[in-house]
Structure 1
Amino acid sequence: MATIATASIYVFGFIGLMIYAAIVLANKQLCFVFGDVSDGTEYLIICGCALAASIPSVLLLFAIYKQKQILRIKSYQVICIVFETVLLVVCVVAVSLPHSNNWGPLIEPRGNGASITWWTQRKQTSSLCIDGKLYYQSIDQSTQIAGNCQYAPTYKTNNHYLLVPSVQFAFQLFGDNFTFSNVVKEDVSFFVTSDILSSQQYFKKSLEGTQQYDMHVSAGDTTQHFSNKDMFKLLSNPAQLKFLQAVGELDAKSAPQEFNYFQEVHGVCFYFVSAFDEHGQMTTASIEIAVKFLEREIYSCSGIKFIVSHQPVYSTGEHGANPQFSIAIQSFLDRHEDSNIMAVFGGRDHVFSSYQKDSVYFFNTGSSGSRLTNVFETSEMKNRTWKANRLDGPQPSDQSLNFGGEFHLLSLLQHTRVEVNVSKSGVGYVIKNIETGKVESTFTQDIKKPRFWGPIVSPYENGANITWWTRDLVKTSVCIDGKLYYGSNNMHETQTLEDCSLEPAVEKLYFHSIFVDRQQFDAVVEGKEIHFDNRPKDSVKFIITSDAHEMTPIIRKSIQNMEDFDFHICGGDQTYWSTAIEYDMAFPIWHQKPFCQCQGNHEAYATRRPVKQRDTTFYQQINGVHFFAVFIFNESDISATDDLKVNESISWLDANIPLHTGPKYILTHYPMYSTGGFGSYPLFTTQLESLIDKYADNQILAVISGHDHIFAAFKRNNLFTFVAASGGGVLSEVNDLETMGDISRVWNGTELHGPLKSDTKWSMNYENHLDSFLKFTRTEVQFGSGKVKYVVRDLGTWDVLVEYEQEY
């Protein structure tokens, strides 16, 4: 009995000791064993071994006691008994102790902001102080905003998620400082991994030396089960990097996911697609959904583009290609060869492989952390068995797993990541071994810039200004009715030749702007037809937008079905800083209908304007409708108003309004009345009210403005005022006291209707408030026969939010 008991003690004690030591040493976190983040497996193994060993230990001690041989106990027996006793005590006590098992944050760009996810062992409020406001999670899981960081939310949880609608901010969490920025940049860098499968070791290796990168992109299956334990392994010591990933085969089965989505980061466009359904199965339906998503969204962004999919298009790994998926993606790329798609990243097969078809690269990045695929067994690879750890050049190809082999460049059986550097001149790819840090290969690629942007056709006095950009240096010229209009990037330098076959002696440029001194003409600019007609009409239809801030997806929606309208009015701030790259994003897929924009505060403040804009104050007639644009900002301070400009604007309106007969609109970027954060500017509002009252019989129909990123409508006598600044920029925060300035102005939802009560300087004419919406909108205007109809449309759903009618 003593011999058996001794052997049992030794065996079980040794096993328990080794398991415990291995787990603690490998993870360096006791919470992996005992904390809430553990799934309990390690705890049961360790405590089970200790319990199993303790039974023979008790029997041995009892036998020794009966035989009165206490002095004959061996030292190793004493050690084992002591160890088992200590281990049992730890198993009992440890579960009641707190453990440092928080993880996060995971920072993911989302739309015009970011989502922040983290987890805590103890239930806490989900709250972060950002720019003096408290973002917190409510009981319905939505993100709410308090006007100051002293607010104390009550809802507590372990799983924390906040959505911050800002392109740039900073916050603190777990005592560490974190920053987020998603402003447009000319040089962008990121790296791509896939199939880390919760490997803490390789996840850390994949992050080494990446501090200089803007983002971490994954082609899926970063974790095995999406459990707290998996997330803790990867995010207990999080990086500062932004993170985005495609839905992997395991991801699809583990947690609710957005299977197909688009995200723009620093002006670079990422399209994440999934060939898998919610059961982790690749189906015809899921492939069709992915391709339809690409068809619908590929032109929602004008920057260079990357597609990320867990299923690779081509692969030399065990799974190989799926011909149905590969043909679908390749056919899509062939149909959109001018769409600036640079590369497709995949995963799933645990190897690195690279291909190139036409100008597009295909990278399989599934070798970042999981067990490398065994590619030497014929039973698994069939006729695709590797002969070495590296494959170079074209490989055998067929219509099954070998699909696309003729496009093969390089395959490696190594743990790798792909580092991507995007600049104005091109894209560079570096294939790096994450175990050794060695660069295994590099690839370069020229950016396929669109052939041109524009043209933008703007009514100007008795003619039109045509503006456009070209990829190549060319001379600025347009042939109209046999006459050649030519010039430079300044429309005031436009000259003409009587014969379009003549070669003008002007410099070749990228940016082009000419003036055509005609009310009606037809022209073709870089293959796009212009049919300009600014003669008066009995009935007119136009749209109003403002404050797009180069957000291409919203811009694209706002100009849908422009063929049904005569022209487009903009309240300013089409971009943030008026840099060339922003104009590339704001006007990539533009209509050729007349476009008239008043100057916004961002455009006025910008110092690098590539576009020569009109004067800050101007008059323009379009199809018999009269527009008067004024500007009241201080150009040296991006958001400050200027009393001198207010007085100058009112004087100019007073002098010019009586000169014209017919329906009139006043354009001003700063609103006359507003339920947004900026609200009214009393000096401007009171003077403008007096002016409009003075010319009450002069057919002034409405004041159109922007600046506050909302839609708001007021009516004073027969005058409408519209804040139409929800055309793309981040929607204004209107539900906190600090932004709104007075508690009576704080919104209690995403809509306001009817008269409002407030007596602050920002809330003039609230008694005549009609409707306000915190939604992306455009306003459609139709008038004729003495009547006007205004239709406000939700750009997200395309639903009509409200309609107004007016007689003149």
Structure 2
Amino acid sequence: MLQVGNMKEELLSQQTGLKSSNKQCCSKQMIYLAVSICNAIISFVLAIFCLTYEIKHNSLRIEMIVAFTCYFASIIFSLIIYIKRNSTFTKSVNFITFSALLSLSLISLAIIIDISVTLTKEPVEPEQPLKIEPSNYGPLAFIHENGTRIHWSTNELTGTKLVSGKTYTDKTESNFHSVFVNNGDKFDYTLSGYQKKYSYYLPAKINKFIVMADIQTVNTYISAMDEDYDFNVLCGDYSISGDMYEYGESFYKMHTKPVLMVQGNHDDPTRIFLDNITQRPMNYFQKVRNLGYFFIYVNNGNTTISMNWLELNAKLGAGSEHTFIVVHNPVYSTGEYGSYTLLAQKMEAFIDGHPELKVRGIFTGHDHLFAAFKRKNVFYFVNGAGGARIDQMTNKTYALDRIWPKEELHGPLTVLNEYCYGYEYHLDSWMKFTRTEVTFSANKVIYTIRDLVTKQVLVTYDQVI
């Protein structure tokens, strides 16, 4: 009898302990479930807030992704805990799971606090009664002989006007707007629908211009450039496929200085780019104060045609103190495409045949790196590292038999193959994002090559004249 009684007591004790354990387990699961549901609510509210802010201000994209991730993770945890609440799986949901759910909640709350603090610090601007959205890009000031063409783009079809001493009105509803302004040395102007004022100033004598190429919609380095120069020279490939919105990606922050540009192989193969933006021929000459520039389009077998145009119009450069030639495709290059032999031979013959033009330098792009060559005191630069990818010449897929041992090359090169024409003139090459800065002194032209990431000077070339 005593033994039976003990057994009953033991069984009753086990049942009581089991009920107590079940209650504790259930209590823990309820805590886990409550935390998960609270986290889901918090992260969902945060995600909606970030999504709304992203749509209006094109910001908080990363925060929105994190918030949605927290939200969906919380939903999954909640469902698993609820469905498996009476199974052995429930007992295995331990402190690690609880910590994960709590971490998600803390991340969401931290983002909310961070955004709230940031927004409270931002100055609140009064709403402006504008009917026009900010421009896709521009205004761009294109240098001409007898004036300036101001070009800009708006997101909406609209007429607009430009005010600079006099008012230039364009009532045609369009996305693309262009006004030719007969100007003196300096003028300020505003665009209807925009609050910002713009200044255009070209000094009587040019002190410094910069050269870049192959932006391909990556405007990071353009927007970060300092202001101590007079104008931009761009060597082509502002887009990737020639779509007009891609030019907006490249140009929408480039409105502080005038520009001169040539078309690249990635730019619009029809005439949209030329007709809507530059409004210049594919080959043209432009004099800027005491400097002369030939812009040559070379692509898809038209090298001979463009170089014939250059020969026929060589007289346009007579009288310039310094002459430069701008072409997208490289003359000499250590890059992926290498030297363009036919172009190089014709360019050499042109320069040798016209010493009166005082050709100082040829600026090119296309190969996404920097390279410098010097032949008979004329510099040849590849500037194709303005923002798009860098050609990694350590990769045989790109370099073929032109593998670089490091990320830079120096001095004359003796490798002989069909891509290496003119390598005896080689000075330096870098696989880095760069720009070329050109300045002038009494008896020389100075070329400064600057790293766009670190802003450090890689090398300086003095051209004594």
- Return the offset for 1:647: 3.9
Inter-partner Cα distance in structure 2 for 1:807 and 1:592: 31
Unaligned runs of 5+ in 1: 1-314, 352-363, 376-399, 405-447, 488-505, 634-639
- Report the AA paired with residue 713 of structure 1: A
- Return the offset for 1:736: 4.8
Inter-partner Cα distance in structure 1 for 2:80 and 2:68: 7
Q: Paired residue for 1:536, among 191, 198, 204?
A: 204
- Return the offset for 1:316: 6.6
**Structure 1 residues 347 and 663: alpha-carbon distance in aligned structure 2, compared to 1, 3 A threshold:** closer
**Structure 1 residues 773 and 604: alpha-carbon distance in aligned structure 2, compared to 1, 3 A threshold:** same
Q: Paired residue for 2:287, among 621, 629, 638?
A: 621
Higher strand share: 1
- Tell me whether 1:601 sits opposite 2:265 in the alignment: yes
Name the residue aligned to 2:214.
547
- Return the offset for 1:784: 3.0
Name the residue aligned to 1:700.
359
- Tell me whether 1:509 sits opposite 2:174 in the alignment: yes
- Report the AA paired with residue 547 of structure 1: D
Equivalent pair of 2:287/2:293 in contact (CA under 8 Å): yes
Q: Paired residue for 1:782, among 427, 439, 459?
A: 439
Equivalent pair of 1:789/1:805 in contact (CA under 8 Å): yes
Inter-partner Cα distance in structure 2 for 1:556 and 1:736: 26
| Correspondence list, 1:339-738, <5 A | 339-341=57-59, 344-345=63-64, 364-367=71-74, 369-372=76-79, 450-481=134-165, 483-487=166-170, 506-520=171-185, 521-525=187-191, 526-537=194-205, 539-551=206-218, 555-606=219-270, 609=273, 611-613=276-278, 614-633=280-299, 640-658=300-318, 660-696=319-355, 698-736=357-395
Inter-partner Cα distance in structure 2 for 1:615 and 1:607: 10
- Report the AA paired with residue 241 of structure 2: W
Equivalent pair of 1:348/1:366 in contact (CA under 8 Å): no
- Return the offset for 1:732: 2.3
- Count of matched residue positions in the alignment of Structure 1 and Structure 2: 381
**Structure 1 residues 731 and 349: alpha-carbon distance in aligned structure 2, compared to 1, 3 A threshold:** closer
Inter-partner Cα distance in structure 2 for 1:721 and 1:596: 18
**Structure 1 residues 789 and 717: alpha-carbon distance in aligned structure 2, compared to 1, 3 A threshold:** same
- Return the offset for 1:581: 2.0
| Correspondence list, 1:132-171, <5 A | none
Q: What is the CA deviation profile of residues 107-143 of structure 1, one whole-angstrom value per residue up to 9, with x for unaligned ones?
A: xxxxxxxxxxxxxxxxxxxxxxxxxxxxxxxxxxxxx
Inter-partner Cα distance in structure 1 for 2:324 and 2:303: 22
Equivalent pair of 1:465/1:515 in contact (CA under 8 Å): yes
- Report the AA paired with residue 485 of structure 1: Y
- Report the AA paired with residue 511 of structure 1: F
Name the residue aligned to 2:18.
none
- Report the AA paired with residue 531 of structure 1: S
SS in 1 for 2:317: helix
Inter-partner Cα distance in structure 2 for 1:368 and 1:757: 65
Equivalent pair of 2:222/2:253 in contact (CA under 8 Å): no
- Report the AA paired with residue 570 of structure 1: L
Q: Percent of pairs identical after alignment?
A: 30
Equivalent pair of 1:562/1:593 in contact (CA under 8 Å): no
Inter-partner Cα distance in structure 2 for 1:460 and 1:777: 27
- Tell me whether 1:317 sits opposite 2:38 in the alignment: yes
- Return the offset for 1:559: 4.2
Inter-partner Cα distance in structure 2 for 1:746 and 1:710: 14
**Structure 1 residues 738 and 372: alpha-carbon distance in aligned structure 2, compared to 1, 3 A threshold:** closer
- Return the offset for 1:628: 1.0
| Correspondence list, 1:164-313, <5 A | none
Q: What is the CA deviation profile of residues 190-218 of structure 1, one whole-angstrom value per residue up to 9, with x for unaligned ones?
A: xxxxxxxxxxxxxxxxxxxxxxxxxxxxx
**Higher relative contact order (CA closer than 8 Å, sequence separation 6+):** 2
Unaligned runs of 5+ in 2: 1-35, 83-108, 114-131
Equivalent pair of 1:544/1:568 in contact (CA under 8 Å): yes
- Report the AA paired with residue 137 of structure 2: W
Inter-partner Cα distance in structure 2 for 1:524 and 1:365: 48
- Return the offset for 1:606: 4.7
Name the residue aligned to 1:288.
none
**Structure 1 residues 339 and 587: alpha-carbon distance in aligned structure 2, compared to 1, 3 A threshold:** farther
- Tell me whether 1:751 sits opposite 2:408 in the alignment: yes
Q: What is the CA deviation profile of residues 504-546 of structure 1, one whole-angstrom value per residue up to 9, with x for unaligned ones?
A: xx32222211111224322123333332233531x51121110
Equivalent pair of 2:202/2:230 in contact (CA under 8 Å): no
Equivalent pair of 1:350/1:370 in contact (CA under 8 Å): no
Bigger drift between 624-633 and 366-375 goes to 366-375
- Return the offset for 1:320: 6.9
**Structure 1 residues 785 and 365: alpha-carbon distance in aligned structure 2, compared to 1, 3 A threshold:** farther
Name the residue aligned to 1:766.
423
**Structure 1 residues 449 and 530: alpha-carbon distance in aligned structure 2, compared to 1, 3 A threshold:** closer
**Structure 1 residues 451 and 342: alpha-carbon distance in aligned structure 2, compared to 1, 3 A threshold:** farther
Equivalent pair of 2:135/2:152 in contact (CA under 8 Å): no
Inter-partner Cα distance in structure 2 for 1:316 and 1:606: 57
Higher helix share: 2
- Report the AA paired with residue 365 of structure 1: F
Name the residue aligned to 1:171.
none
Inter-partner Cα distance in structure 2 for 1:619 and 1:316: 69
**Structure 1 residues 720 and 368: alpha-carbon distance in aligned structure 2, compared to 1, 3 A threshold:** farther
- Return the offset for 1:674: 0.8
Name the residue aligned to 1:359.
none
**Structure 1 residues 347 and 796: alpha-carbon distance in aligned structure 2, compared to 1, 3 A threshold:** closer
Aligned-residue CA RMSD (Å): 3.7
Inter-partner Cα distance in structure 1 for 2:67 and 2:198: 49
Inter-partner Cα distance in structure 1 for 2:161 and 2:134: 19
Equivalent pair of 2:322/2:358 in contact (CA under 8 Å): yes
**Structure 1 residues 338 and 542: alpha-carbon distance in aligned structure 2, compared to 1, 3 A threshold:** farther
Q: What is the CA deviation profile of residues 447-500 of structure 1, one whole-angstrom value per residue up to 9, with x for unaligned ones?
A: x9645421111112321111111233321321111x22234xxxxxxxxxxxxx
**Structure 1 residues 519 and 547: alpha-carbon distance in aligned structure 2, compared to 1, 3 A threshold:** farther
After superposing on structure 2, the runs of 4+ consecutive aligned residues of structure 1 that deviate more than 6 Å are 348-351
Equivalent pair of 1:646/1:684 in contact (CA under 8 Å): no
- Return the offset for 1:700: 1.3
Inter-partner Cα distance in structure 1 for 2:69 and 2:335: 52
- Report the AA paired with residue 678 of structure 1: Y
Equivalent pair of 1:756/1:767 in contact (CA under 8 Å): yes
Inter-partner Cα distance in structure 1 for 2:334 and 2:77: 54
Equivalent pair of 1:663/1:699 in contact (CA under 8 Å): yes
SS in 2 for 1:593: coil
Inter-partner Cα distance in structure 1 for 2:75 and 2:370: 47
Bigger drift between 541-550 and 690-699 goes to 690-699
Q: TM-score by structure 1 length?
A: 0.43
- Return the offset for 1:620: 1.3
SS in 2 for 1:803: strand
Inter-partner Cα distance in structure 1 for 2:340 and 2:134: 43
**Structure 1 residues 647 and 779: alpha-carbon distance in aligned structure 2, compared to 1, 3 A threshold:** closer
Inter-partner Cα distance in structure 1 for 2:457 and 2:254: 23
**Structure 1 residues 643 and 569: alpha-carbon distance in aligned structure 2, compared to 1, 3 A threshold:** closer
Inter-partner Cα distance in structure 2 for 1:758 and 1:711: 19
